[in-house]
């Protein structure tokens, strides 16, 4: 596995993906879903593919993915790790997290990891690997999108707060009592 530099176009795509992830984190409740096609997605809750189980594509934000079974499609994670001791048949993309391929684990596709690392302990990664390590340059590139995500979260928080019922203080007396 050799690390490669990320081109200018790839950096823009990465920035857009992180901005979208920030928007999703700010506007969606924390939950995990599975659809009829076998896709899995989650915001804030880990996804586990059990041994003997097969999933198609897996995506999560602010959580980790544990593959003990088979993922026939792609795995995408923002702010979390991917731990594989099963099989991932296609690509793995991780932003702000690590890929850990344990004994018996196989990643057949390419891997792209930004602000994280790859740890292969008895497993194999058969495709190409691109790693962009943690560092001040990457943080400088991501800073505007992190601020945008924070601003969107703040706006959503204000709107939700303004919709909650407000009670005057002190509470009004019960009917019939003055």
pLDDT at 8: 52
Domain that holds residue 110: 8-161
Has residue 173 been placed in a domain?
no
**Is 2 a domain residue?**
no
pLDDT tens digits, one per residue of 81-101: 999 999 999 999 998 899 999
**Inside any domain, residue 1:** no
* Inside any domain, residue 133: yes
Report phi then psi at 89, rounded to 5. -80, -20
* pLDDT for position 29: 46
Residue 122 lies in a domain: yes
- Does some domain include residue 177? no
Tell me, yes or no, whether 26 lies in a domain.
yes
What pLDDT is stored for residue 25 in this prediction? Answer: 54
Q: How many domains does the chain have?
A: 1
In a domain, residue 3? The reply is: no
DSSP codes joined into one string, the chain: ----PPPHHHHHHHHHHHHHHHHHHHHS-SEEEE-TTS-EEEESS-EEE-TT-EES-EEEESS-EEESSEESS-EEEESS-EEESSEE-S-EEEESS-EEE-TT-EE-S-EEEESS-EEESS-EE-S-EEEE---HHHHHHHHHHHHHHHHHHHHHHHHHHHHS----SSPPPPTT--
Low-confidence ranges of the chain (pLDDT < 70): 1-36, 137-139, 164-172, 178
Give the pLDDT score at 14: 57
């Amino acid at each position: 596995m050799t690390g490669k530099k990320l081109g200018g176009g790839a950096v823009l795509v990465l920035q857009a993906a992180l901005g979208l992830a920030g928007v999703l984190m700010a506007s969606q409740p924390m939950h995990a879903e599975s659809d009829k096609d076998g896709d899995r997605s989650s915001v804030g809750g880990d996804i586990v593919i059990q041994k003997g189980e097969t999933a198609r594509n897996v995506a999560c934000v602010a959580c980790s993915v544990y593959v003990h079974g088979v993922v026939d499609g792609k795995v995408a994670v923002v702010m979390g790790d991917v731990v594989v001791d099963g099989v991932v048949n296609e690509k793995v993309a991780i932003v702000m997290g690590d890929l850990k391929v344990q004994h018996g684990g196989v990643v057949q596709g390419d891997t792209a990891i930004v602000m994280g690392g790859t740890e292969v302990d008895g497993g194999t990664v058969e495709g190409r690997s691109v790693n962009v390590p943690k560092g001040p340059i990457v943080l400088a590139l991501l800073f505007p999108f992190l601020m945008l995500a924070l601003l969107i979260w703040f706006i959503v928080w204000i709107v939700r707060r303004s919709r909650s019922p407000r009670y005057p203080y002190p509470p009004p007396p019960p009917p019939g009592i003055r």
